Structure 1
Amino acid sequence: MTVVPEDHEAHGATYRELADGRRAVERYRRPERTATAVRSGVGVIEMGYGVVEVTGDDRHDFVDDAVSNRVPTTDGEGCYALLLDPQGAITTDMYVYNAGRRLLVFTPPARAEPLVEDWSGKVFIQDVDIQVASADFGVFGVHGPTSTEKVASVLNGAGSPDRQCSFVRGSMGDAGVTVVRTDGPLGEEGYEVVCTADAGGEVFDTLLTRGLNAVPFGYGVFETLALEAGTPLFDTELEGRIPNVAGIRNALDFEKGCYVGQEVVSKVENRGRPSERLVGLLPEALPERSAAVFDGDSAVGEVTRATASPTLERDAALAYVGIGLDAGAVTVRVDGEEVPAEVIDLPFHEGSDRSARVPRYPPADD
């Protein structure tokens, strides 16, 4: 459940069910106008992360051995990382934050409990304790070109963090908060404000109404703006994919190995030439997920996600296509017919920040 249901309902929210059984806001009134407001100012969304708490003297080494990126050893720092299966495919993405005597791991909603079960089964003589802590926290995203000014106007006791995935501790009103600088998933400056669940009401109200005003928005707008920013999401673009196919190089530390089962994914394996790449499509009609993409008579890929983009004022989509397909004209199947579309490199929109997850691929001769 959301930690502030009455506040959402006061703004006319409708909900979606998250994969772990909780609810999150799908939309408020007039989502197109809301999306434009976030792009031009600042908006606030309650995030539905799964949260895993890892404690014990061996917590850092244990998590660092398990994930694809190097976990920071310094309090106040974090990273974006992946957990891979024995074949090297993504089973979850996550943010890992070093919070002093504990690590906090933020996952997609349905991945927290399986992650705890998986990791708990791999603890032998290490001093590590792993628990689901999703219900303990409220997490509010603050995104938009004026989000830094917004956070500065209400955060007491600290300045806004300036490095992606770093955080500071302070207060908003009487509530203690942790403020994380995001990696720009919407293509705008962004922060996440973390508080205890019982402080959620005060923090949400502070973010919306005190200092610079902000507009509330839901997951429908979040996913639309993330698509415009070229940000792949776990459920649609990442799950089951090999990291170099997804192109999310910010999740990989190429100087370390990453354990998957009992095997180690090496630097060379992670940097192998991918068979597909994630691109943008500008179709003349809105396709559904899994719609086929054609180059002439040949099927060359499929759509992962599509939306009516308020920023572009036209339909836009993400698709995986063969690595040899260059930018240019293709067709995409919509309602049983092939309609023209243009392949473009991501992102569609360059805002006040660039998403660190925009796919990047090595040159053909790398």
Structure 2
Amino acid sequence: MFSLDQYRAAHAAAVMFDRSSLGTIVLTGADRATFLHALLTNDIASLSAGKGAYAAYLTPQGRMISDMRVVETGTRMLLGVGRDDAGALADRLDKLIFSEDVQVKDASADLNVIGVHGPSAAETVQRAAGVPVADLAAEYDNVTSDSLTIVRDAALGLPGFDIHVAARDANALRARLLDAGVVDASGETYEVLRIEAGRPRFGVDMNADTIPLEAGIEDRAISFTKGCYVGQEVIVRVMHRGHGRVARRLVSIVLSGGPVPAHGDAIFAGERQVGAITSATASPKHGSPLALGYVQRDYAAPGTGLTVNGLQARVHEAVD
């Protein structure tokens, strides 16, 4: 359940989230970076120890199989993907290995992920985990110590970290975080913050029909200077022949009031349906419902007037 006290703590101090919806695939072996580099949209081969990237895995038609966070620790790569997709994705990657020195394992049951977000997140994590994190400046920067890998995370628009911890040690770490002053927060509070931050979630705001450019993730997820990857031809064609123009765009939409819309609710411009809602919440920041949804590109500019369930709405901004 959403809690306004938890929301306020996220903006004033630090909160802790159970990130059990995030699965972890572990890649080891000397060829792990070049193997992934040939498959994913971002530059993986250049990642050094302690660095990471956000990327998408596409079909040859440029549609999304998954998005993922790729974290290079120096001894292994951790892929952060949806928990429900981790097993099938690990199997799919494993079947693509031929002579490469790469081992793939779905480690979702072995590693728990705990998120800590808020202005005092760094201080709190360092006190509870005993690992310096102040130097993790860029998103996906990471540090590993014993059974912990701590990753800088900005998904909520706040200072934050995801801690990958051995399942056997997770409860003890949660207790230390609580002792350090963190507030235990719900998944519903996480979703409110995510939607306010305009971060799309695969399986909700993106799916197997989505081209990354439609979701606005290209600046974070796609390298336009790397070599070939699966689906590259489609992305390059849209960027160079279509000047990056896609038929629809994911935007955030502020409603004038009323109930929170549901996933799939239609978005209208006048009498014409121009899109559909993907995520929505009652937003403390805006004092009204806030939604993410796809609209036809001619209606994606900030300030564009729309209606949802008969209520006045406007485009707040494009999602990135």
Instruction: Spell out, residue by residue over 1:94-151, the C-alpha distance to the aligned partner (whole angstroms, 9 max, x if none).
Output: 1111122321111111111111121122111222211111111121111012212322
Q: Which runs of 5+ in 1 are unaligned?
A: 1-26, 347-357, 360-366
What is the deviation of 1:218? 2.1
- 1:181 aligned onto 2:152: yes
Structure 2 counterparts to residues 43-82 of structure 1, below 5 A: 43-48=15-20, 49-71=22-44, 72-82=46-56
- 1:329 aligned onto 2:300: no
**Partners in 2 of 1:68 and 1:187 — Cα distance?**
23
Structure 2 counterparts to residues 198-209 of structure 1, below 5 A: 198-209=168-179
Structure 2 counterparts to residues 64-213 of structure 1, below 5 A: 64-71=37-44, 72-160=46-134, 161-170=136-145, 176-182=147-153, 184-210=154-180, 213=181
TM-score (norm 1): 0.79
Q: State the match for 1:281 in structure 2.
A: 253
**Partners in 2 of 1:313 and 1:140 — Cα distance?**
29
Q: State the match for 1:242 in structure 2.
A: 211
Distance 1:189 1:258, change over 3 A: farther
Identity of aligned residues (%): 31
SS in 1 for 2:38: helix
Kept in 2, the 8 Å contact 1:254–1:267? The answer is no
Kept in 2, the 8 Å contact 1:243–1:270? The answer is no
- Which residue identity lines up with residue 273 of structure 1 in the other structure? R
- 1:34 aligned onto 2:6: yes
**Partners in 2 of 1:312 and 1:235 — Cα distance?**
25
Kept in 2, the 8 Å contact 1:254–1:270? The answer is no
What is the deviation of 1:185? 0.9
What is the deviation of 1:39? 2.1
RMSD: 1.9
What is the deviation of 1:33? 2.2
Q: Which runs of 5+ in 2 are unaligned?
A: none
- Which residue identity lines up with residue 331 of structure 1 in the other structure? T
TM-score (norm 2): 0.90
- Which residue identity lines up with residue 106 of structure 1 in the other structure? G
SS in 2 for 1:236: coil
Instruction: Spell out, residue by residue over 1:24-83, the C-alpha distance to the aligned partner (whole angstroms, 9 max, x if none).
Output: xxx4xx623212221222100121221111122221111111111111431111111111
- Which residue identity lines up with residue 277 of structure 2 in the other structure? V
What is the deviation of 1:279? 1.4
What is the deviation of 1:247? 0.7
Kept in 1, the 8 Å contact 2:62–2:232? The answer is no
Structure 2 counterparts to residues 302-321 of structure 1, below 5 A: 302-321=276-295
What is the deviation of 1:273? 1.3
- Which residue identity lines up with residue 177 of structure 1 in the other structure? L
- 1:216 aligned onto 2:184: yes
**Partners in 2 of 1:99 and 1:141 — Cα distance?**
18
- Which residue identity lines up with residue 152 of structure 2 in the other structure? R
**Partners in 2 of 1:38 and 1:270 — Cα distance?**
39
Kept in 2, the 8 Å contact 1:46–1:139? The answer is yes
Kept in 2, the 8 Å contact 1:36–1:311? The answer is no
**Partners in 1 of 2:12 and 2:308 — Cα distance?**
32
- 1:342 aligned onto 2:314: yes
Kept in 1, the 8 Å contact 2:129–2:173? The answer is no
Which stretch shows the higher mean deviation, 148-157 or 31-40? 148-157
Deviation beyond 6 Å, 4+ runs, structure 1: none
- Which residue identity lines up with residue 274 of structure 2 in the other structure? V
